Chains A and B, each alone.
Chain A
Amino acid sequence: MADAFSETDPQTNTGLLTDRNVRLAGQVVAVVFAAAVLYLLYRIASLVDLGLLETIFPRFVDAYLLVLFIFVVGGVLSVILGVFVGLGRISRSTLTRGVTVGYVEFFRGTPLLFQLIVIYYGIPTLFGGPDFPIQNWEIPAAILGLTLNHGAYIGEAIRGGINSVPDGQMEAARSLGMSYIGAMREVVLPQAWRNALPAMGNDQVILIKDTSLLTVIAVPELLSQFRDVYSTTFDPWTPILLVAVAYLCLTLPLSYVVTYFERRASPGGDNE
């Protein structure tokens, strides 16, 4: 490291770029940053209208619960779908592999916003238009879109997890007389799961944040509530505060859950 930064002999460490100065500079930047954030928060706090906060709070609770519901259903379905997609990606059948690759490339290669619009505005016209049987289609459409999109990402995480299990594991299991499927299920997948967990956890956090796109298909989620309140009151900070708190109340517990699963899955971890 040192030789990349210091102009002179790395060992003498003279001039301005001493270890101590760099450390100090880092701390100064951190303090300035923290002070700026605190100042902004102070300014924001003085703008928050407590009366309005109380009036709009119930709507944001409803929106929070709706986002939580969509996340839980979409998250579970996308993980289940992702396991099959991951297995399809490493299938020895060219047909299965080809179809899976096509699916993954499409859903990773087009924006989620586009996919949501296709599903919400496009699908009903394929099945009856005015006679389309499902009336509150935005919720199923949202879950379908998030599941299909994140299923592709989870599938890639699972494939990476499986590929990072050494070939010897499969070979050893097969030499003990286990079938390919049996070895995959009992030996390879549990280890692949552990390897894939960090990437999957990341993806689920992104899934929560992606629910903000649902505002364009008329799902009354958090950003939708913000836009509604803001366009009538012209007070941005009161609803922004609620939106920020609501998202953090979703993502922070999720990070905790992911850490718990990672610890549980690691060898020698708490296997309760």
Chain B
Amino acid sequence: MDGTSRRTYLKGTAAGAATLGLAGCLGFGGSGEDTIQIGSDIPYPPFEYREADGTLVGFDVDIAAAVFGEQLEMTPEFNQTAFDGIISALNNGNFRVIMSAMTINDTRAEKVDFSDPYFTAYQTIVVPQNSDVTTKEDLRGATIGVQKGTTGSTAAAELKEEFGGDLDIKQYDLIADAFNAILNNQVDAIINDNTVNAQYISQNEDQLRFVEGDGAAVEQGKNAPPYLTLTVEEYGIAFRQDDDDLREQVNEALATIRENGTYDEIYNEYFEG
């Protein structure tokens, strides 16, 4: 190879790299002003999941359509993201807001601002239908499946502390993996949000059940579901900390859809009957 051809080749490569870089920039600039990018950990039924044909549905998806679509006249677009890195992804600018059945808590609130709560959830325990576990205390020494980075994982860690370390926790990437594991005898129980648990239980009624009893919900005087609740949590839409205008608009829109009945319609579609 002589000098000229190598040189030409190098120049060609540089030009190619420059073109790719430019294309990349244009690609990023493609989304218009009226599209709102939403980060979400999919699948997390019934909040965000895909039907067999690939259509994205769920409570969060419909709330996004009502809040951003109908009230704020934007086009919501969901971006699939792993839950354990979702807050960093928001702050790094990968999307504008998070709608991912996200519980409002203090550590998260240090990094993001939350909208007003739009849902109340409880951490609950799922066990196989034939399990001996009937109370929280029965879980001592058991293996618990949770999803990485969730409040279910935190609740499991707190339970482990309460048991003096006598609890094994297996952390899965997706909640679906944890349910797969309980159906394959890999974990004794799952700690996760009640509504998601209820959805999986309804799909596997002869294999899974809730651990029943009173818990945190009753202590706090909440309208408690009939099963044992470890914690009471509220979901919020997460915003970057410099995004107050949008957050206020969303809070107003949430209030509006609660008043005009849209919220109840969506709620009943996913959580009643």
Q: State the A residues within 8 Å of B (CB).
A: 3-7, 121, 124-125, 128-133, 135-138, 215-216, 218, 220, 224, 227-228, 230-234, 236
Contact = CB atoms under 8 A, between A and B. Distances in A.
B126 to A, nearest CB: 13
B185 A231 contact: no
B172 A227 contact: no
Contacts of B149: 227-228, 231-232
B96 interface: no
Contact of A131 (B110, B154, B185): B185
Interface in B175-194: 177, 180-181, 183-186
Contact of A130 (B2, B172, B183): B183
A130 B208 CA distance: 10
Contacts, number: 85
Contacts of A5: 3, 6
B120 interface: no
Interface string B204-231: 0001000000000000000000000000
Contacts of B85: 227, 230-231
12 contacts: A4-B3, A124-B185, A132-B184, A132-B186, A137-B184, A224-B171, A227-B171, A228-B149, A231-B83, A231-B149, A231-B153, A232-B154
B249 to A, nearest CB: 26
Interface in B136-189: 143, 145, 148-149, 153-154, 170-173, 177, 180-181, 183-186
B42 interface: no
A228 B146 CA distance: 11
A48 B148 CA distance: 23
Nearest to A125: B184
Given A5-B3, A138-B186, A231-B85, A121 B177 contact: yes
A154 B243 CA distance: 54
Contact of A135 (B87, B172, B186): B186
B128 interface: yes
Nearest to B149: A231
A126 to B, nearest CB: 10
Nearest to B178: A218
Interface residues of B, number: 32
Nearest to A233: B107
A236 B85 CA distance: 10
Contact of A228 (B1, B128, B153): B153
A134 B2 CA distance: 64
Contacts of A216: 173, 177
Interface in B69-101: 83-85, 87-88
A6 B186 contact: no
A230 B84 contact: yes
A218 B170 contact: yes
A125 B170 CA distance: 19
Given A220-B170, A228-B153, 6 more contacts: A3-B3, A4-B6, A130-B184, A130-B207, A132-B184, A136-B186
B111 A228 contact: no
Contacts of B130: 130
Contacts of A121: 177, 180, 184
Given A135-B143, A231-B148, A129 B2 contact: no
A129 B180 CA distance: 9
Contacts of A130: 128, 130, 183-185, 207
Interface in B1-33: 1-3, 6
A218 B172 contact: yes
Contacts of A138: 170, 186
Given A135-B143, A218-B171, A234-B110, A227 B207 contact: no
Contacts of A7: 3
Contact of B1 (A4, A124, A135): A4
B177 A218 contact: yes
Contact of A231 (B2, B84, B128, B207): B84
Contacts of A3: 2-3
